[in-house]
Amino acid sequence: MISALRKRKGDKLLEEGDLWGAIEAFHKAGDQEGLQRAAEESIRTGKLSQAEESFAKSGGAMARDEYIRLGEAAFRRGAIDTAQTAYERAGHTEGLLSVAETFLDRGQFRSAEAAFERAGTSLDPDRLNALGRKCLDEERPRLELAAEAFERAASYEGFLEVTDHYERAGKPERALETLKRAVQLGAVESEARPRWERLQNAIAAKTPMPETVTLEPDEQLCSSCHKAIKQEAMKCRHCGYILDPELRAKQIPRNIDADVEQLASDALKYSLIGIICFGFILGPMAVFRGSKALAGLGEIRRQYPDYVSDSSITVKAIIGIVVGSLVALLSVIGLLIQFQ
């Protein structure tokens, strides 16, 4: 009675597409025929794990032809990874090549390379060039993928073709980038120069000429946006740039270099203490903090060109870097001598 109920449950679950539930129900019912039906349905729908489970619970194993049929079903529904596993277990070279070509067409180069290797061949330049030209011949060319394929194939001819496509698409800047790569890969001057000149002219034609500004006697040009402003203006009304140096200096936040000064002081302190002890730890710390202090000063100067730093900050940072480097080096040498 219980076995019959489980068989009916397995039939219902199988009909609903719940393969895992059907397999479990048939197994508990001891229904070998049900397990075979579940296995066949798993193969038909390309479900590898369920198929292997069905065979395992029925006490058997999948044959090579069954793996191939399952791989084909998985391939048709786009489950390429499952198809690859099934073909590998079947030792099906043709199937693995189909999987590899699909990975390649998707631009999954690593997966394609692995699949080609399992099929006993390799992802060679010929295949990569073929992919690149296929991408270029499509109705909507996949230029980025084509460029990547030609890059892997080290094909300057392919990059010249990509350059031509970008040029026809009205993208001279992008075309110039791919042309430069073609030249790096060995494109001859007779092929590159005409393209180079055309692209440079196209880019120049797209770049608007600077507007000519007529100044009145009481006007000047803003040094930032190059628009006319009054001679006595301290701040540009167009872009907000502050022209007066004293006013610009006042815009610099107070104590903007406090953190940088602390880093420089730490660098000097750690380097000096490192001479006495723990040089292998404090030396690198001094170098790190000194370098960070100098980088911080550079960033402040980029943001505030009128900023004038205290020279002691730079001196401390440099001393910390130099002494810290020596301390670290000598400490390492001392440790090596000690261990020897």
Same domain, 243 and 266: no
Q: Is residue 234 part of a domain?
A: yes
CA distances from 229 to 8, 126, 226 (A): 90, 63, 9
Q: Is residue 138 part of a domain?
A: yes
Same domain, 185 and 240: no
pLDDT in tens, 34-69: 889 988 999 998 888 988 888 988 888 889 999 999
Chain-centre distance for alpha carbon 331? 40
| Gap between the Cα atoms of 256 and 289, Å rounded | 17
| Residue where a domain stops, chosen among 206, 235, 266 | 206
Helix (H) or strand (E) holding 229: strand 228-230
Q: Is residue 99 part of a domain?
A: no
Same domain, 224 and 269: no
Give me the CATH number covering residue 176: 1.25.40.10
pLDDT in tens, 92-121: 999 999 999 998 898 888 889 888 998 889
Work out how many domains the chain is built from and give that number: 3
- Does this model's pTM top 0.85? My answer is no
Going by pLDDT thresholds of 50, 70 and 90, the confidence category of residue 306 is low
The DSSP annotation for 16-70 comes to HT-HHHHHHHHHHHT-HHHHHHHHHHHHHHT-HHHHHHHHHHTT----HHHHHHH
Q: Is residue 17 part of a domain?
A: no
| Gap between the Cα atoms of 79 and 71, Å rounded | 9
Helix (H) or strand (E) holding 219: strand 219-221
Going by pLDDT thresholds of 50, 70 and 90, the confidence category of residue 157 is very high
Q: Is residue 167 part of a domain?
A: yes
Q: Phi and psi of 221, rounded to 5°?
A: -95, 135
pLDDT over 80 (residue 234)? no
Same domain, 234 and 300: no
Range of the domain at 156: 124-206
* Widest Cα–Cα separation across the chain: 109
